[in-house]
Structure 1
Amino acid sequence: MMDIHQILKKLPHRYPFLLVDRVLELEPGKRIKALKNVTMNEPFFEGHFPHRPVMPGVLMLEAMAQAAALLAFEVVGSVPDEKSVYYFAGIDAARFKRPVEPGDQLIMDVTLERMKAGIFKFKGVCTVDGKMVCEAELMCTMRTVA
């Protein structure tokens, strides 16, 4: 398990783009289960949509990617320094099954499928109250920037 303080030491994301509040389970090299408490205070709800607030699907994908990054850091045994960035390399088979609204607790369950030549491939599923809301295959990589 990781609380928000441990997450902040590992992820470079900050408000309003940090989308992981807690790690519930972590099997190094295998899988991670994390959560995002979705509140009405999220800045994206102001415009998406004013009459019916719904969490954008791309942010659910981003939340899974942030959880995947925490898992990847456990695999490589370190957290990237300020010259490293963890990027999306691809997203496949993304499907959105139902809306995520204020008050929901988004659970991200991400499994490492494989790692080769610095490319990580993950399978992610998001649920709310045990019901699938989103799934996708994610490819991510770490790169050093100038």
Structure 2
Amino acid sequence: MSNEYLLDIRQIMDMLPHRYPFLLVDRVVEFEPGVRLKAYKNVSMNEAFFQGHFPGLPVMPGVLILEALAQAGGVFVMSTIQESLEDKVFLFTGLNKVKFRKPVVPGDRLILKVAYDRHKMNIWRMHGIAEVDGQVVAQGEFSAAVANKGDM
């Protein structure tokens, strides 16, 4: 396991097609190929979704916490597979056993932990935990496919 493995935002943008306001992973801080990845998202009051969710009571939408976990999973898979990523995209295919435990608010650092469960051909299954200050805020199992951009 390497605690020195780091991907910054530029390297993450090379792997994921997402851009502002939908890129939800700021940095990768741990990576064990084929096993797990740890990343984070700094949650700022400047996030576009806080304008409407909710005025006067800003709470990060749960679906965006799951999206952040999925994006971290995408970085995990793209960092694990040994082929060209140039024409590939990582697409959500399913969610299971999702639970939301606590709200995420401006000023929080959302820690994103994803771990490999299994994969068959181009379908990957992982489980993820999102934490703030050591407390679980959301968790679940998810699956995704590595697809060719040209097939979409």
Q: What is the TM-score of this pair, normalised by structure 2? A: 0.91
Q: For residue 6 of structure 1, report the CA deviation from its aligned partner.
A: 1.2
1:134 aligns with 2:111: no
| C-alpha contact 1:10 1:79 (8 A) present in aligned 2 | no
- Displacement after TM superposition at 1:124 (Å): 0.0
Distance in 1 between residues matched to 2:138 and 2:92, nearest whole Å? 17
What is the aligned partner in structure 2 of residue 119 from structure 1? 123
Distance 1:4 1:79, change over 3 A: farther
Kindly state the Cα deviation for residue 80 of structure 1 after the two structures are TM-superposed.
3.1
- 2:33 & 2:84 partners in 1: Cα distance? 14
Q: TM-score, normalised by structure 1?
A: 0.95
5+ residue gaps, structure 2:
1-5
Runs of 4+ in 1 over 4 A off after TM superposition: none
Rounded to whole Å, the distance in 2 between the matches of 1:66 and 1:79 is 18
Distance 1:134 1:98 in 2: 7
1:107 counterpart = 2:111: yes
What SS does the corresponding residue of 1:26 show, helix, strand or coil? strand
How many residues get paired? 145
Residue among 18, 25, 47 paired with 2:23:
18
RMSD of aligned residue pairs (Cα, Å): 1.1
- The equivalent position to 2:91 in structure 1, one of 87, 91, 97, is 87
Shift of 1:79: 5.4
Report the AA paired with residue 26 of structure 1.
F
One-letter code of the match for 2:99?
R
Which residue of 34, 43, 51 corresponds with 1:46? 51
Gaps of 5+ in 1: none
Partners of 1:34 and 1:115 lie apart in 2 by 21
Q: Assess if the C-alpha contact under 8 Å between 2:16 and 2:89 holds in 1.
A: no
Counterpart secondary structure, 1:23 = strand
Percent identity, please.
Answer: 48
- Which string of whole-angstrom CA distances, capped at 9 and with x for unpartnered residues, describes residues 5-53 of structure 1? 2111111110000000000100011100000000000000000000200
Q: Deviation per CA, 1:96-137: give whole Å up to 9, x if none.
A: 000000000000000011111211000100000000000010
Whether the 8 Å CA contact 2:124–2:144 is kept in 1: the answer is yes
**Aligned AA for 1:60?**
I
